[in-house]
Amino acid sequence: MTEAVYEAKAERTFQAPRALVWALVADTNRYDRAYGLKPATYSWKVRDGRRERVGTASEMGFSLAWVEPPYQWVEGQSVHGQRIFHQGPIDRAGFAVELVDAGDATIVRARAYMASSRSFGRLLSATLRGRQRRGLERFLDAVGRVLEGARLDLEPKTDEPPVPWARRVLRTAHYDEVAAGIRTPVVAEELSMGAERLRSSDADARLSSLLVTFLRDRADEDVAQIRPFELAQVWDADRYEALRTFLHATTAGLLDLRWQINCPVCKVASGGVGSLTDLGVKSHCDACNLDYDVDLASHVEAVFHCNRAVRSVEPAIYCASSPAFLPHVMLQKTLAPGEEMTVELPLPAHLHARTLHGHAPSNLARDHAPKCVSVIVDDQAVRTSTDDAGQSPGTVVLRSEAHTDVTLLVERAGWSADVVLGSVMLSFPQFMDLFATEAPATGVDLRVGHLAVLFTDLTDSTAMYERVGDARAFALVHEHFRVLASSIAAHGGALVKTMGDAVMATFPDAPRAVAAALEMVDRYKLPEGEKGLGVKVGVHAGPCLAVRANDRLDYFGTTVNIAARLQGQARAGQVVITARMADHPGVRSQLDTRVSKPFEAGLKGVAELQQLVAVEAVRSVPPAERGT
């Protein structure tokens, strides 16, 4: 029997930027929930040599199973998603939306459809046409309420996709069940007790109050996965102060901390663990069919969710193929062999083009946005090229020279989500203080990517013990640790451990580590210097291994060893770094008023002689003397 298509259409005009409206209405996960569909279960299966995303759910007494071919979208302009059923009364169903500018407004044209070639499926589709129309209108009306009641001034940062912008806007709007989903009731007593424990901590009072209100009032979707840095923007707060509040809220029993493992290719969560103890050295992404080494700095994200005692929230997926889950993907299109298409799309300076089928990808990086980009795919690889003449600005030309259908993706390569990566957490002082036993399992070494490591040592301490006596010397050393810890914390570092008179600390980057080191030697120019004490510091940056040692987090590897050796090269009142680190713009600017003495030295465990720089404590430096 010939297939019959039953569709419903709706149109709305919104007084909001097109990119923002697109991020809201093209979220097919949000639409399916608003439409009234049940949550789905997804898996990946291979058929005819191709991996397919298969979904299952129960609707109106029917057991449904379907395949979701790759959704098609162009950021800010359109999206089309479809389900092809191999179990159930209908053959296929889909949702499509197109957006066009109308002066300062945006026109949205939406369409939902069902199709069937069977008698019962036709009857059912015809009966549900009214439900389709009402679902479309209910969804678009909810989007309108969000845009009317939210803050639209939370504009995106440079090259930021519309999706995170939309998430911030949603969180400033009043709760709307259609737009945001259900809100599981809160256990008032647990929330109250947790809030009291949080207030009694040294967390920021305003942020603590905002967080408690957020946990009470927002939808399940909002509290099931919370990113502190995103909420910091909504709350006009310092991002690290927000993270600090979240960590205190975790110890107060309001939140739980979970480690999410994100695939380095598709950027989507491929797994998660409740503790670093459970984190392995490898992970697998089902969507990409890819095994990869776990890099704690780049692939592991700290996410928070509402403690189940406060609200028993179960995350649910309604549509796994939603563009909202791939905010960095500007364009996803499936091309037939020999097909070519042209898309008008604002282009960033850094692009990444790949396919869903394992072709070699292509990167494009320029100092300014190209006018036109050509993306060509054959049976092995993707190629990109630019053309700044002959095309209107923001033109993407897609062409397939492959012998089978290929799905192309064009992504922002210079953007990353505003997330709390492992490198941030493992150099954050409150995490080290409050979660000291949170470390990888014994015997598991995890690459942490890039961290800055600082080692100090106290000079002439033995003579001090003889001069002032054990009790007084012990008090001075204890004060020494307090002084160093305050410098570490002031520059965003974390104290890892003390070893005799020495200290080890980590920082997210070299400039902050060097700033802390210089502050340390400056402070020891004063009273401690009069007691015959001095401090010497070594700083190095690079990849590290995070391990569990004595039930605490510790770091090992070449970067750590070199940092310790550099400290051994320093004299009292000096910070020793490599010449390469001294050339870092953020470090070089700190050395302008210092005496910096280049020298060459061999370091134990390093084969080649190293070019080093010894930086003195601050003093007035005549221009002619600088750098000598």
- Determine the pLDDT at residue 620: 42
In whole angstroms, what is the distance from residue 342 CA to residue 459 CA?
Answer: 68
Q: Name the band, by pLDDT with cuts 50, 70 and 90, for residue 554.
A: confident
In whole angstroms, what is the distance from residue 434 CA to residue 430 CA?
Answer: 6
Pairing of strands 574-578, 534-549: parallel
Residue owning tokens 């809220």: 249
pLDDT tens digits, one per residue of 330-355: 999 999 999 999 999 988 888 999 99
What DSSP state is assigned to residue 75? T
Helix (H) or strand (E) holding 212: helix 205-217
394 φ/ψ sector (left φ>0, alpha ψ -120 to 50, else beta): left
- Determine the pLDDT at residue 205: 96
pLDDT tens digits, one per residue of 133-178: 999 999 999 999 999 988 877 777 777 899 999 999 998 888 989 9
Query: What's the rounded mean pLDDT across residues 71-94?
Result: 94
Q: How many angstroms separate the Cα of 344 from the Cα of each of 75, 305, 373?
A: 10, 39, 10
Q: What is the dihedral of CA 143, 146, 152, 156, to 10 degrees?
A: -60
- Determine the pLDDT at residue 257: 86
Pairing of strands 50-59, 610-616: unpaired
**CB burial string 83-93: b at 16+ within 10 A, e below:** bebeebbbbbb
Pick the range with the lowest mean pLDDT from 106-115, 398-407, 433-442: 433-442
Q: Name the band, by pLDDT with cuts 50, 70 and 90, for residue 461.
A: low
In whole angstroms, what is the distance from residue 117 CA to residue 369 CA?
Answer: 48
Closest CA to 594 of 535, 539, 510, 515: 515
Question: Is the separation of the CB atoms in 574 and 521 below 8 Å?
Answer: yes
The residue among 604 and 87 whose pLDDT is bigger is 87
Question: Is the separation of the CB atoms in 448 and 422 below 8 Å?
Answer: yes
In whole angstroms, what is the distance from residue 194 CA to residue 277 CA?
Answer: 26
Q: Which amino acid is it at 42?
A: Y
In whole angstroms, what is the distance from residue 407 CA to residue 357 CA?
Answer: 7
Closest CA to 331 of 287, 384, 290: 384
Q: Is the pLDDT of residue 254 over 50?
A: yes
Question: Is the separation of the CB atoms in 204 and 244 below 8 Å?
Answer: yes
Closest CA to 461 of 418, 409, 511, 500: 500
Phi, psi (degrees; rounded to nearest 5) at 153: -85, 0
In whole angstroms, what is the distance from residue 248 CA to residue 189 CA?
Answer: 19
Please report, rounded to a whole number, the percentage of residues in the chain having pLDDT higher than 90. 49
Per-domain residue ranges for the chain?
Answer: 4-152, 185-312, 327-412, 436-625
Q: Is the pLDDT of residue 122 over 90?
A: no
What DSSP state is assigned to residue 255? E
The residue among 602 and 273 whose pLDDT is bigger is 602
CATH code of the region 436-625: 3.30.70.1230
User: For the residues of 137-177, what is the DSSP string, one character each?
Assistant: HHHHHHHHHHHHHS----PPPTT--HHHHHHHHHHHSPP-H
Question: Is the separation of the CB atoms in 99 and 22 below 8 Å?
Answer: yes
Q: Name the band, by pLDDT with cuts 50, 70 and 90, for residue 621.
A: very low
Q: What CATH number does domain 4-152 carry, 3.30.450.20, 3.90.110.10, 3.30.420.40, 3.30.530.20?
A: 3.30.530.20
- Determine the pLDDT at residue 378: 95
Query: What's the rounded mean pLDDT across residues 213-224?
Result: 94
Separate counts of helices (H) and strands (E) for the chain = 20, 30
- Determine the pLDDT at residue 391: 64
Q: Is the pLDDT of residue 526 over 60?
A: no
What DSSP state is assigned to residue 226? B
In whole angstroms, what is the distance from residue 575 CA to residue 254 CA?
Answer: 42
CATH T-level topology, domain 185-312:
Arc Repressor Mutant, subunit A (1.10.10)
In whole angstroms, what is the distance from residue 242 CA to residue 263 CA?
Answer: 26
Q: Is the pLDDT of residue 627 over 70?
A: no
In whole angstroms, what is the distance from residue 546 CA to residue 420 CA?
Answer: 17
Beta-carbon contacts of residue 361 (< 8 Å; ≥ 6 apart): 352, 353, 354, 355, 381, 382
Q: Is the pLDDT of residue 206 over 90?
A: yes
Residue owning tokens 């279960």: 41
- Mean pLDDT in the chain? 87
Pick the range with the lowest mean pLDDT from 13-17, 41-45, 122-126, 306-310: 122-126
